[in-house]
Amino acid sequence: MGGHRSNQHPVVRLCATVLLVGAWGLAATASASCFDVQVSAFRELHPLILQSPARALAEVNARIAALPPGAAEREPQTVAALYAIRARAYGQMSLTHPERAAARAGLALLHDPTDPLRLELLASYDGSFSSPAAVTKATAEIKQARALLRPGSRSDVCLQISEGFMNVVRDHMSSGIRELTDAYLRSGADELPAAHVGASEGLALALRNMGDGREALSLIDQQIRWDKARHAADDLSGGIYFRGEILRSIGHYRQAIAAFKESRAMSTAVGDTQSSAYADLRMCESEIALKHFRAARLACNRAAPVLAAGHVTAMIKETRVQFAKIDLADGHPGRAVKILDQVLHDHGTDMLAFTVAPAYLTRAQANAALHRYADAYRDLGTYLHLYQAHNRANQTRLRDALEIRFQAKQEFERNAVLQRKLRAAAHRATKQRQLMDWMEAAGIAGALAIALLSYILVADRRHRRQLVVLANEDPLTGLPNRGRTVQLATEALAAAWAQSRPLTVALIDFDYFKTINDRCGHAAGDHVLKEFAHLSRGALRAGDIFGRWGGEEFLLVLPDAALDSALASVERLRLLALGIQIPCPEGRTEEGLRVTFSAGLASMAEGLRTLDEIVARADVALYEAKDAGRDGVRISRARRGSDSEPLRA
C-alpha cells in the first residue's frame, strides 16, 4: 500500500512507493480491469482478486503448473491471460519484482500491439518500476502504445490514465494533471466506471502532492464508495490507506492512524502482508509525529521484517530512519547515528527523495546530542540544501496548477461555443432528430461543463486559501507574521489559563545583525533569517508557536512548557544559529562575524495574565542577556514595575 493500489493501473502502486509514501504515490493493479479483456481464463479468475489476491495467486499458479507441454504455442491467449492474473495478484500484494516477471512472460506470447490483453500486461509491466530512469522509459513505452490506438477508445483512455500517473510520478505535474483530467472527462462515471475512478484517484494524488489535501480527500472518496459497492475488500483497503496518507500529509495524525489501522486489518484478512506492513510503517511515522514513541516502535517492529523480505531498498531504509528517530527520542543518540550512517552511506541515492532530508536532520540532531557539532552542522547544511530544493519544486508545481486552471477556463469557453453550434444544427433537423441530438449534445456538454467547473472551483478554492496564507505569513521566512503570531499566542495563553497548564514565551533577537547587513549586504542578512526559520521549525514541537516579531526578532510560545524545558528548547535554537554560514559576496569579508542571538524568557507562572505582560517581561530579560555580553539566554525575574514595560516593535 505504500506501494498501494489504484483501481486500474499498476503505475499507481509506483505512486504509493514514491508519491504517497511521500512523494510518489498509491499503487497497483486494477481489480476491475480498465481494459476490455475477453479471454475466458482472465474473466473467470479476475473477480477473485477483488476479495483475496493471495487466493487468486494460489489458483493461477496451480493452473500454470498444470499446463501441458506446448500450451503456450497452441493457446497463447489463454496462457498469457494466466500470466496477466499472476502479475495483477502480485501487484495487489505490492510485490513488484515477481509482478514484472509475470507480465514479461505474458508479453512474450502476444504480438498484436492493440490487443487489450497485451495492453493489460504492458500496464502491469511498466507500472511496476520504481526508479526515476525506469519510469521515464516506461512512460515512453506507454506513449508509443497509445500512438497505435484510436484516440478516445477504451484502451487509449486506460493507457492515458497510466501515462498521466507516470507523469505525476516524474513530477511533470502539468502534463500529468492534463492527461488525467482528459481521461476523467472521456471515461464518464457510467460509461467506463473503472477508468473514471482511476482517473479521479490520479487527480487526488496530484492534488495531494501540490498540498491540497482536502480536495484530494473528496476525490479519493469516489474510489472508496465504488469499492464498497463492489465489495472489493482488497481495493477498499488501498483506498482507505490512501485516505490515511492524505490525512497524515495535512497533519491529522490521529485520524490517519485510524485509517491505517482499518486498512491494515482489511489487508491482513485477505493475506496481503506487504500492504499490512506499509500501513504499519505509516502508523509508526504518525505515532512519532504525536511523540507516542512506544506505539511507534511496536508498529515499526511489525513492518520491518515484512518490508525486508520484500527487498525494496527504499522502504527498508525509510523504516530504519523511523527507528533512528525513536532511538534519539529514547535517549540513544549513538544508536541513532549508527543507523543513519548506514542509511546515508551513499547519500540517499537509493532512497525516496522526500525521505532523504529528514534523515539528515535527524542525524544532525543526534550528532548534536553527542556534542559532535562539526558533523551536526554539516548535516544541517545538507538538510537545508535539500529543503530549499523541495521548496523550488513546490513553486514549480504551483505555477503548473495556475497554468492548468487557465487552460481549463479556455477549454470551457471553447466548449460553450461548440454547444451553441450544436443547438443551431439541431434546430434545422426533424423534430425527432432534433430532440435526440439535443439530448445527446446536452448530456456530453453538461458532463464536460460540470467537470470543468468543478476543476475550476478546486483551483479557485486553492487560490483563496493561498490569499489567506499570504495575509498571515511573513513573506521572507514563511513564518506567521506579527499579527498572526499575536492571534495564535493569545489563543494558546487563554487555553493554558483555562486548563491550568504552564506556558512560556521567548523573545529572540539576533546580535550585531546590522553589522552583518553592513559588511555582507542585506541579501546575506535575509539568508540568515530564512535559514534560521527553516532550521528552527524542524527543531520545535508541533504545537509550539514560532513567528517573526519584526526585523531580526522572533517570538516563540511554548505551551505546556515550564521555564526549564523552555530554556532547553531555546538553547537548541541557539546552537542551530551558531552553525549558519554567512554568505559574504566577493570583495567583502565576514571575518569575525558569526550568527548569534540573545533571548529572554518569561512564564505565565509569574502571575502574568496577558500576552503583553508576558512579552514585556521577556523583553526585560532579553535586555539583560544583551547587557551580559550577548549570545545567551536570560530568564525573567519578577520585579516591581516590570509589568508596565511596553512592548518593543
The predicted structure's pLDDT at residue 385: 83
Residue 190 predicted with pLDDT over 80: no
Query: Which region among 58-72, 87-101, 118-132, 459-473 has the lowest average model confidence (pLDDT)?
Result: 459-473
Return the higher-pLDDT residue of 75 and 126.
75
- Residues 539, 573: Cα–Cα separation, whole Å: 7
Cell (9 digits) for 398: 504551483
Query: Which region among 59-73, 95-109, 404-418, 459-473 has the lowest average model confidence (pLDDT)?
Result: 404-418
Which of 356, 370, 387 has the alpha carbon at shortest distance from 575?
370
Taking residues 244-256, what's their average pLDDT?
88
Residue 268 predicted with pLDDT over 60: yes
Classify the C-alpha dihedral 365-371-373-378 as positive or negative: negative
H or E stretch covering 508: strand 503-510
Reported as a single tens digit per residue, the pLDDT across 295-322 is 999 999 999 999 888 777 888 999 999 9
Q: How confident is the model at residue 545 (pLDDT cuts 50, 70, 90)?
A: very high
Taking residues 24-38, what's their average pLDDT?
56
Which of 9, 28, 6, 26 has the alpha carbon at shortest distance from 17?
26
- Asked if 195 and 40 touch (Cβ cutoff 8 Å), the reply is no
Classify the C-alpha dihedral 353-359-364-367 as positive or negative: negative
Taking residues 587-605, what's their average pLDDT?
87
Q: 64: Cβ–Cβ under 8 A, 6 or more apart, which residues? A: 79, 82, 83, 86
Percent of the chain with pLDDT over 70: 76
Cell (9 digits) for 367: 550528532
The predicted structure's pLDDT at residue 162: 85
- Residues 605, 566: Cα–Cα separation, whole Å: 13
Q: How confident is the model at residue 33 (pLDDT cuts 50, 70, 90)?
A: low
Residue 230 predicted with pLDDT over 70: no
Our measurement of the distance from residue 575's CA atom to the centroid of its chain's CA atoms, rounded to an integer in Å, reads: 30
Cell (9 digits) for 63: 493452473
Reported as a single tens digit per residue, the pLDDT across 150-185 is 888 888 888 888 888 888 777 677 777 778 877 777
Percent of the chain with pLDDT over 90: 35
The predicted structure's pLDDT at residue 570: 95
The predicted structure's pLDDT at residue 209: 67
Strand partners, 553: 509, 550
Q: How confident is the model at residue 646 (pLDDT cuts 50, 70, 90)?
A: very low
Strand partners, 506: 556, 601
- Residues 203, 216: Cα–Cα separation, whole Å: 7
User: According to the per-residue pLDDT averaged within each range, which of 223-227, 251-255, 644-648 is highest?
Assistant: 251-255
- Residues 563, 505: Cα–Cα separation, whole Å: 9
Q: How confident is the model at residue 362 (pLDDT cuts 50, 70, 90)?
A: very high
Identify the burial level of 87 via C-beta atoms within 10 angstroms of its C-beta, where 0-12 means exposed, 13-18 middle and 19 or more buried: buried
Coil, helix or strand for 36?
A: coil
The predicted structure's pLDDT at residue 550: 85
Cell (9 digits) for 550: 519584526
The predicted structure's pLDDT at residue 234: 61
- Residues 552, 384: Cα–Cα separation, whole Å: 20
The predicted structure's pLDDT at residue 206: 72
DSSP strand pairing (553-559 vs 633-635):
unpaired
Mean pLDDT value across the chain = 78
Strand partners, 473: 480
Residue 324 predicted with pLDDT over 70: yes
The predicted structure's pLDDT at residue 412: 40
Taking residues 140-145, what's their average pLDDT?
89
Residue 449 predicted with pLDDT over 90: no
Q: How confident is the model at residue 15 (pLDDT cuts 50, 70, 90)?
A: very low
Residue 350 predicted with pLDDT over 80: no
Reported as a single tens digit per residue, the pLDDT across 408-448 is 444 544 444 444 444 544 454 445 445 444 544 445 444 44
User: According to the per-residue pLDDT averaged within each range, which of 20-24, 399-403, 483-487 is highest?
Assistant: 483-487
Residue 43 predicted with pLDDT over 70: yes
The predicted structure's pLDDT at residue 129: 63
- Residues 308, 285: Cα–Cα separation, whole Å: 17
The predicted structure's pLDDT at residue 642: 39
The predicted structure's pLDDT at residue 399: 58
The predicted structure's pLDDT at residue 19: 37
Residue 138 predicted with pLDDT over 90: no
Taking residues 518-540, what's their average pLDDT?
91
The predicted structure's pLDDT at residue 421: 45
- Residues 299, 4: Cα–Cα separation, whole Å: 18
Residue 343 predicted with pLDDT over 60: yes
Q: 509: Cβ–Cβ under 8 A, 6 or more apart, which residues? A: 552, 553, 554, 597, 598, 599, 622, 626
- Asked if 60 and 81 touch (Cβ cutoff 8 Å), the reply is no
Our measurement of the distance from residue 442's CA atom to the centroid of its chain's CA atoms, rounded to an integer in Å, reads: 38
- Residues 357, 393: Cα–Cα separation, whole Å: 14
Return the higher-pLDDT residue of 11 and 376.
376
Looking up cell 482511476, which residue turns up?
Answer: 198
Which of 198, 192, 185, 182 has the alpha carbon at shortest distance from 12?
198
Q: 8: Cβ–Cβ under 8 A, 6 or more apart, which residues? A: 30, 32, 33, 34, 158, 161, 194, 195, 197, 198
The predicted structure's pLDDT at residue 233: 65
DSSP string for 64-90: HHTPPTTHHHH-HHHHHHHHHHHHHHH
User: What is the 8-class DSSP label of residue 548?
Assistant: E
- Residues 19, 170: Cα–Cα separation, whole Å: 10
The predicted structure's pLDDT at residue 232: 64
The predicted structure's pLDDT at residue 396: 62
Q: CA of 148: how far to CAs of 115, 139, 142, 536, 575, in Å? A: 11, 15, 10, 54, 61
Neighbour tally for 430: CB within 10 Å: 10
Taking residues 335-340, what's their average pLDDT?
94
Which of 153, 213, 209, 223 has the alpha carbon at shortest distance from 177?
209
Our measurement of the distance from residue 171's CA atom to the centroid of its chain's CA atoms, rounded to an integer in Å, reads: 12
The predicted structure's pLDDT at residue 237: 79
- Residues 229, 238: Cα–Cα separation, whole Å: 15
Residue 536 predicted with pLDDT over 90: yes
Residue 639 predicted with pLDDT over 80: no
